[in-house]
Chains A and B, each alone.
Chain A
């Protein structure tokens, strides 16, 4: 059983019929996911990335049995998601960052109690698991607060706990860090790392935040316009597309655009040349070398390095494919 893939998808396709307002019958077909095939093995952590509207959420809804595929095969935890939806619901935990599965008007603790009943946890199991999640996600201070009064970060932690209460073998998170501040993101990532280490949980994650993928997902799937554009390691992805880092420098005095530095591209100039952005390829030069070159032309007051932007990486894949 534990050898069967947690996700197995082949030729998966989903069309939507979009009806303009007022037209009940005539509709246009939109292909959201097209001939998608991939496998996720038990214990893997996979980042599922792509631009807005690429088909990520649609794929996840088919994995969870919410949407019926137009064509193709899906097996999640070895089950057929639509036909075996109820059995599957006991084995997977899903968080949609933009939805809530908690009861708006109830305290967090009460939502957990109801979910424990929904998943048939026995009293001892419920106490142990709730305690573990409350501890790890540091939710003790607001357990008795109604959900509608929580901050976004607090609510997101409660959502994740709610989806993991029944100890699912596969956790699917659709943009779990959307809108969170740096600290909350960090806390959530650390929790997921621990959860995976302790329980061997498989993870599938969609996000627009490269930091999530870097911390959590050794493997990345990139979806472009409903089809699979890349399947491999994150570093492989950066290498394929030549993911660049961006150095932002604040200068003492207005300076001419810093063009002509080796293996570096000048991206933009702000505040009459007081702040400039330079992109460099980490395979060919280093931040230190770029900084040294800049210092010869002007005095650097402050600097920051921007992580490769997921949108940028994805955009480059698309450009390469077309």
Chain B
């Protein structure tokens, strides 16, 4: 009973913080709209890059352009959603220096939950929308033969893929507690992972397959579900149901993330002063 009351109180607190963030950003409507346009443009340019690459190689990793759109759309949309929700978490050094983190420690909510709700950036909505458009076009053009299983797979994959990327951001935040210049190191993983995921994994070099297939399993966010949707065989000698393991990959990603976070907070040295 007391637990439920506490939970409701906490939810009220998160909502108050979140809605204040949203309102603060809407206050600068003009620059906000401009930022949205900018973000949408970036998505277009990145997709154009894949397009050009495709023109050179004809069929990247054995996929048609429409199928590549599917991979790119899935990866882009789920990454951007995670970025929208927790992307600011990997700017840990900024929070440490500004003393924001010390302030989170002084409040009766989990530090990680406060960090996640503290600084949501609505401009990232544009990239979610861009990814969604490309995904929908890819789904239509690539001629997916729909079955109830495939609908279910897509419904499971999207939230699980968002969770995988969110885990990646949080792991990065945890590591940044004790790595000086950690942001540079972790960005290589976060943005490298995102870039890799928007390409068919069959063109990845072996080392990338190991890192982004197993340790930070971003292959599960785009490539593997796309193969399943298109009834294509899975490379690396994996069984056809591999795509259904996306939720497992998400759980793994969060275990890594929370482990890194815990390690990080134990190492926290404060902002000095």
Which residues of chain A have a CB within 8 Å of any CB of chain B?
Answer: 16-17, 19, 21, 24, 57-58, 61, 64-68, 85-87, 89-90, 92, 94, 96, 98-101, 103, 105-106, 110, 113-114, 117-120, 163
Determine if A99 and B270 form an interchain contact, defined as CB atoms under 8 angstroms apart.
Answer: no
On whether A114 and B99 interact (CB within 8 A), knowing A17-B269, A58-B270, A86-B110, the answer reads: no
- In angstroms, Cα B107 to Cα A105, docked, is 20
- Which 4 A-B residue pairs are closest in the complex by CB-CB distance? A120-B9, A99-B99, A89-B108, A117-B16
A57-B273, A58-B270, A114-B16 given; A65·B105 CB < 8 A: yes
Q: Are A118 and B180 in contact (CB under 8 A)?
A: no
- Chain B residue nearest in CB terms to A15: B269
Q: A103 to chain B: which residues have CB within 8 Å?
A: 20, 24
Chain A nearest CB from B17 CB (Å) reads 6
Task: Report Cα–Cα, A114/B13, bound state, in Å.
Answer: 7
Closest to A106 in B: B20
* Alpha-carbon gap, A117 to B179, bound state (A): 34
Interface flags for B93-113 (1: CB within 8 Å of A; 0: not) read 000000100110111111000
The answer to whether A94 touches B20, judged by C-beta atoms less than 8 angstroms apart, is no
**B269 cross-chain contacts in A, Cβ below 8 A:** 16-17, 67
* Chain B nearest CB, measured from A107 CB (Å): 10
CB distance from B114 to the nearest CB of A (A): 9
Q: B109 is contacted by which of A17, A94, A118 (Cβ under 8 Å)?
A: A118
Query: In chain A, what residue has the closest Cβ to B108?
Result: A89
Residue of B nearest to A102 (CB): B103
Q: Indicate if the CB atoms of B270 and A114 lie closer than 8 Å.
A: no
A94 nearest in chain B by CB position? B106
A89 to B108, CA, bound (A): 5
Contact A68-B24, Cβ < 8 Å, known A94-B106, A118-B13, A120-B9? no
Name 4 extra pairs, CB < 8 A, besides A96-B273, A103-B20. A67-B270, A92-B106, A103-B24, A114-B20
Judge whether B103 and A99 touch: CB under 8 Å: yes
Within B246-273, which residues are at the interface with A (CB < 8 Å)? 266, 268-271, 273
Using CB atoms and an 8 Å cutoff, list the residues of chain B in contact with chain A. Answer: 6, 9-10, 12-13, 15-17, 20, 24, 27, 99, 102-103, 105-110, 179-181, 266, 268-271, 273
Question: Cβ of B16: which chain A residues have Cβ within 8 Å of it?
Answer: 113-114, 117-118
How many angstroms between the C-alpha atoms of A112 and B109 in the bound complex? 17
> Closest A-chain residue to B100, C-beta based?
A99
Residues of B within 8 A of A16 (CB): 269
Specify which of A65, A90, A96 lies most central, judged by the most chain B CB atoms within 10 Å of its CB.
Answer: A96
A130–B109 Cα distance when bound, in Å, is 21
Chain B residues lying within 8 Å of A118, measured Cβ to Cβ, are 13, 16-17, 107-109
Given contacts A21-B180, A87-B108, contact A120 B6 (CB under 8 A): yes
Which one of B16, B24, B108, B266 has the greatest number of beta carbons of chain A within 10 Å? B108
CB pair A66 B102 closer than 8 Å: yes
| A68 in contact with B102 given A117-B12, A118-B107 (CB within 8 Å) | no
List A contacts of B270 (CB < 8 A).
57-58, 61, 66-67
Q: Which residues of A contact B179 (CB under 8 A)?
A: 24
**Could you write out 6 A-B pairs with CB less than 8 Å apart?**
A66-B102, A67-B269, A86-B108, A99-B271, A118-B13, A118-B107
Chain A residues with CB below 8 A from B15, complex form: 117
Q: Chain B residue with minimal CB distance to A20? A: B180
The docked-state distance in angstroms from the alpha carbon of A19 to that of B10 is 38
Contact indicator B99/A96 (Cβ below 8 Å): yes
Asked if B108 and A98 sit within 8 Å, CB to CB, the answer is: no
A77 → B minimal CB distance (Å):
13
Chain B residues near A58: list those with CB within 8 A. 270
**Would A98 and B24 be within 8 Å (CB), given that A86-B110, A118-B13 are in contact?**
no
Task: State in angstroms the CA–CA spacing of A58 and B181 once bound together.
Answer: 24
Q: How far is the CA of A64 from the CA of B99 in the complex (A)?
A: 14
- Please report the C-alpha to C-alpha distance between residue A310 and residue B143 in the assembled complex, in whole angstroms: 79
Give the residues in chain B near A99, CB-CB below 8 Å. Answer: 99, 102-103, 271
In-complex Cβ contact of B107 among A89, A106, A113 (8 A): A89
Q: Which residue of A lies closest to B266 (CB)?
A: A68
Contacts of A66 in B (CB 8 A): 102, 105-106, 268, 270
Q: Which residues of B contact A57 (CB under 8 A)?
A: 270, 273
Q: Which chain B residue lies CB-closest to A68?
A: B266
- Bound CA–CA A63/B189 (angstroms): 36
- Chain A CB count within 10 A is highest, among B6, B24, B179, B181, for B24
Question: Which residues of the other chain, B, contact A19 by a CB distance below 8 angstroms?
Answer: 180
Closest Cβ–Cβ distance, residue B32 to chain A (whole Å): 13
The complex places the Cα of A55 from the Cα of B137 at a distance, in Å, of 61
What are the residues of chain A within 8 A of B6 when measuring CB–CB?
120
B17 touches A89 (CB 8 A): no
Give the distance in Å from the alpha carbon of A99 to the alpha carbon of B271 in the complex: 10
Contacts of A89 in B (CB 8 A): 105-108
Which one of B27, B105, B181 contacts A85 once the chains associate, using CB atoms below 8 Å? B105
A105-B180 contact given A61-B270, A98-B273, A120-B13, CB 8 Å threshold: no
**Which one of A17, A58, A66, A89 has the highest number of Cβ atoms from chain B below 10 Å of its Cβ?**
A66
Residue on A with the closest CB to B273?
A98
Contacts of A113 in B (CB 8 A): 16
Chain A residues with CB below 8 A from B17, complex form: 114, 118
Report B-chain residues with C-beta under 8 Å of the C-beta of A94. Answer: 106
Chain A: which residue is nearest B27 at the CB level? A105
For B10, the chain A residues whose CB sits under 8 A away are 120
